[in-house]
Structure 1
Amino acid sequence: MSGGALRLACAGLLSGIAIGVWTTNSHFRPLLDHQRDKAAQCSAARDNLAGLAQEQGKALGDLTLAANARKAEAVKAAGKAKASADIDYTAANRLQQERTGGDQCAAATSIIDKELGL
């Protein structure tokens, strides 16, 4: 093979490689671009879901704190109500134990008025 034929063969080989690269690039570039777009969409969706999960976690924490505060207030109110009821219960027992002569309604009214300071 002479030098000119070798150069022609090399030029043909190089142009074949260039055409092959161009054809492959033309064929696969849209597929690669589509996959890159899908990957970007998936990343954005993942980031969005992570943000939403973080917001939900914070909201759940806030709700738990609010529930605990309401529970503490309810326990406190129940304690006050019991203390108040105990006072009324004691007064009612005293009313039953104090027997005065005559009508029981008049006696109860008299004792209640006395308790109330009337």
Structure 2
Amino acid sequence: MVVFEQYRAAVIAVAVVVLLGLGGVIGGGVAYWITAGHYRPIVEGLRDDVKTSASTLASCRTTSSTLEGQVGQQNQALADLRLAAEKRAKEAEPIQQQAAKAAGEDYQAANRLQQERTGGDPAAAAAAIIDKELGL
């Protein structure tokens, strides 16, 4: 009978371990099911947010690269305009000097006309002075 008592104790111990294991597995499954039911809508909502954010990010990157290209084109156009303006300024410099020289001569002639004193009709006097200057 002692052997029977030892087997009985071993069977009870094995039964307890099996029941504890089974309870752990069932409890873990129930806990997983409850947790998944609670967090699944939250995770799906976050996935949708991630997809939307990824789409927005891709759109922003595309727009950014497009704008960078346009800025590069504008910078090149500005550089071309600066070069053209410098070229025009260099080409205009001798012409401006000639115009200033010619204007200086005309300015001196105009000063002489104003300084001369004439009598009589001012219009006739001005016409006579101009004719004299022009050699007519």
| TM-score where L is the length of structure 2 | 0.57
What does residue 76 of structure 1 align with?
87
Residue 16 (structure 1) aligned to one of 23, 27, 45 = 27
Is 1:44 aligned with 2:52?
no
Equivalent residue, structure 2, for 1:60? 71
Quote the residue 2:5 is aligned against: none
Partners in 1 of 2:31 and 2:85 — Cα distance?
79
Structure with greater Cα Rg: 2
**Partner amino acid, structure 2, of 1:16:** G
RMSD in angstroms over aligned alpha carbons? 2.9
Q: Do structure 1's residue 86 and structure 2's residue 97 form an aligned pair?
A: yes
Letter in 2 for 1:53: S
Amino acid at match of 1:57: E
Separation in structure 1 between the aligned mates of residue 22 and residue 63 of structure 2, nearest angstrom: 59
> Any unmatched runs of 5+ in structure 2?
1-11, 110-130
1:8 Cα deviation (Å)?
A: 5.0
Determine what percentage of the aligned residue pairs are the same residue: 18
Q: Name structure 1 gaps, 5 residues minimum.
A: 111-118
Match of 1:103 in 2: 132
Kindly tell me the number of residue pairs found equivalent between the two proteins: 103
Q: 2:46 aligns with which of 35, 58, 82?
A: 35
Question: TM-score, normalising length from structure 1?
Answer: 0.64
Rounded to whole Å, the distance in 2 between the matches of 1:10 and 1:88 is 108
